[in-house]
Amino acid sequence: MKNIYKVLIAFIGVLAVSCNADAVDERPILDTVLAPEITAPTTGQNYVLDVEKASEEVAKFKWSAAEYSNTVSIRYSLLIDKKGGDFTGAKVLEATTNNVTEVSVLAKDLNQAAIDLGGVPEVAAQYDVKITSNVSSGFVQVSKGLISITVTPYVGKVDYKFDDWYLVGDASASGWDNNKGNQILFRSATNANEYKFTGFFKKGVFKAIKNLGSWAPMYGGKDGSLIYRATEGDADPASFEIAADGYYTFVMDVQKLTYKLTPYAAGATATVYNTVGIIGDATAKGWDASTPMVKSAFNAHIWTLGVTSLNDGGMKFRANDAWDVSWGGSTAFSGGGNGENIPVAKSKYLIYFNDLDGSYVMIPNQ
């Protein structure tokens, strides 16, 4: 009886293998038939990209549908390479699925691709564009033709990996408005966790906020210890107290969670300048003339400059359009206290300056 069961099991196994083999033989075979080809835009288009329109559509690419031997879901990739390149190092501008045969390309994506391929900001260069199709990452077809375009990229974003903190409270310039000319804290050039402000305070209290318009993250403090408020749902920390109108130096370290608040006696007799401006080959007027900053109505030693285009190069701050008194720094974005040229990478900046100690903060990518 056992032998009969063994024979039956063996027969069923052979039959299953035979059926599976027949099923494999009968599976449809997919072949590539016709590669897609770009139909729009036409070759020779010129794209001068504008940083102010980075998120807008700059071009719409269309192509003919690829053909395969069976009905399948086709994926497409729009590729760009430097003129005459072999596309081994090409960048993917956009990709589509489910047989979609057109795509919109944003200015920022075309700009980044051009930069990644060696493009120089504000210099026109030619690039080749192709379209490829695939089915489940296989059966790739590459367009035989290509189009050539000219792209003039803009300067990419300057890498800025710092946090900024602002004062809020009735002792400060903005009062309790968290988004109205709040005084920025000047970040140390050597310690990104240390923030300082030397200047005028009114009798009252204040705190530090990270994002203008929001009440958290926030720092308050008591007896030299910082108290952190991560979200607006957390408890409100104690305020820093100013006993009387006057000049003070406030320093906080967000890593050590400590702060110091000390009187600054020299503030009351410090020179008040008529003008302070930026000057240098990074500025619009070069080394020939200063670009004036705006003096604070609350504190006569604090100066700001709204969104300002700067070039690669160096700059300084100087008083009264003369070289009798000037300030510089050796570090980008923040620093102060010496006469070196501040290094600048091309971008648009918000600029803050304190003539009491030469501190500056320059926030790019505005």
Please state, in angstroms and as integers, the Cα–Cα distance from residue 62 to each residue in 73, 269, 306, following that order.
Answer: 18, 69, 42
CA distance 364 to 347: 6
Place of tokens 């930069």: 115
- Model pLDDT, residue 23: 45
- Model pLDDT, residue 348: 86
- Model pLDDT, residue 14: 41
- Model pLDDT, residue 320: 97
Which whole number is the average pLDDT over 184-189?
Answer: 97
Give yes or no for residue 22 having a pLDDT over 60. no
Q: To the nearest whole percent, how much of the chain has pLDDT over 90?
A: 81
Place of tokens 């070069």: 286
Give yes or no for residue 359 having a pLDDT over 60. yes
Dihedral angle of Cα 223, 225, 229, 230, to the nearest 10 degrees? 180
Give yes or no for residue 184 having a pLDDT over 60. yes
Q: To the nearest whole percent, how much of the chain has pLDDT over 70?
A: 92
At 98-107, the pLDDT tens digits run 999 999 999 9
Give yes or no for residue 338 having a pLDDT over 90. no
Place of tokens 């918000």: 350
At 187-245, the pLDDT tens digits run 999 999 999 999 999 999 999 999 999 999 999 999 999 999 999 999 999 999 999 99
- Model pLDDT, residue 17: 41
3-state SS, residue 269: helix
Mean of per-residue pLDDT scores for the chain: 91
pLDDT band at 312 (very low <50, low <70, confident <90, very high): confident
- Model pLDDT, residue 366: 61
pLDDT band at 53 (very low <50, low <70, confident <90, very high): confident
- Model pLDDT, residue 20: 47
Which whole number is the average pLDDT over 338-361?
Answer: 94
Higher pLDDT, 6 or 72: 72
- Model pLDDT, residue 28: 60
Give yes or no for residue 7 having a pLDDT over 50. no
CA distance 21 to 23: 5
Cβ burial 142-178 (10 Å sphere, 16+ → b, else e): ebeebbebebbbbbbebeeeeebbbbbbebbbbbeeb
pLDDT band at 55 (very low <50, low <70, confident <90, very high): confident
- Model pLDDT, residue 6: 45
Q: If you count them, how many residues does the chain have?
A: 366
Instruction: Name the nearest CA neighbour of 82 among 152, 32, 129, 135.
Output: 129
Give yes or no for residue 8 having a pLDDT over 70. no
- Model pLDDT, residue 5: 44
pLDDT band at 337 (very low <50, low <70, confident <90, very high): confident
